[in-house]
Amino acid sequence: MISFRPLRAEDAEGVARVERESFPTPWSREDFWREASNDFACYIVALEDEEIVGFGGCWISFEEAQVTNIALASLHRGRGLGKPLMTRLMCAAAERGAERMTLEVRPSNAPAIRLYEGLGFAAIGVRRKYYQDNGEDAILMWHTKLKEFVDERCSAETDARD
């Protein structure tokens, strides 16, 4: 059974494990430990029983939420789990006062782009050579109607899964 809850300091190792499986320049356990007590950060973890299988996070500044990272353990990808995870992150950010959310994504990351578009994000530009590991561009995406999204989706999504 999959469940979701906010990040706790003791989750740092589990989240860092998922991060290492997911990104070429991963954040460390200490980075996530710090994020758990960062007042500007908002993170949601996905658990299967007690094991962390995914997480998503953002930094909130006034009305804007900047997604830092979202990832699932490799065995849990491609099963539609990204959508409820991202939805919960959007809901949590909106509860903290965010009205807009932004993120960067690699043009080669088709599942992620599809996920974000399906949740109402739109591509508004490109950051040239953004990713340091391979010089790939980033697509810059925004969701500008977080409150409307929350009104429509959050209570239903919270009840729909698990």
Catalytic residues, by residue number, are 104, 116
Sign of the torsion formed by the C-alpha atoms of 74, 50, 33 and 149: positive
Asked whether position 105 contacts ligand COA by CB under 6 A, the answer is yes
Asked whether position 70 contacts ligand COA by CB under 6 A, the answer is yes
Rg over CA atoms, the chain: 15
Asked whether position 127 contacts ligand COA by CB under 6 A, the answer is no
Among the listed residues 8, 20, 83, 147, the single contact to ligand COA using CB under 6 A: 83
Among the listed residues 15, 45, 52, 72, the single contact to ligand COA using CB under 6 A: 72
Answer yes or no: are the C-beta atoms of 80 and 72 closer than 8 Å.
no
Among the listed residues 6, 78, 97, 125, the single contact to ligand COA using CB under 6 A: 78
Q: How many residues appear in the chain?
A: 162
Answer yes or no: are the C-beta atoms of 4 and 53 closer than 8 Å.
no
Q: CA 85 to CA 54: how far, in whole Å? A: 8
Piece in contact with ligand COA (CB under 6 A), picked from 38-46, 57-65, 109-117, 139-147: 109-117
Answer yes or no: are the C-beta atoms of 10 and 31 closer than 8 Å.
no
User: Kind of pairing, strands 100-105 and 64-72?
Assistant: parallel
Q: Which residue is nearest to ligand COA (CB)?
A: 82
Residue span 29-68 as binding mask against ligand COA, x where in contact by CB under 6 A, dash where not: ----------------------------------------
Give the binding site for ligand COA (CB under 6 A). 22, 70-72, 77-83, 105, 109-112, 114-115, 118
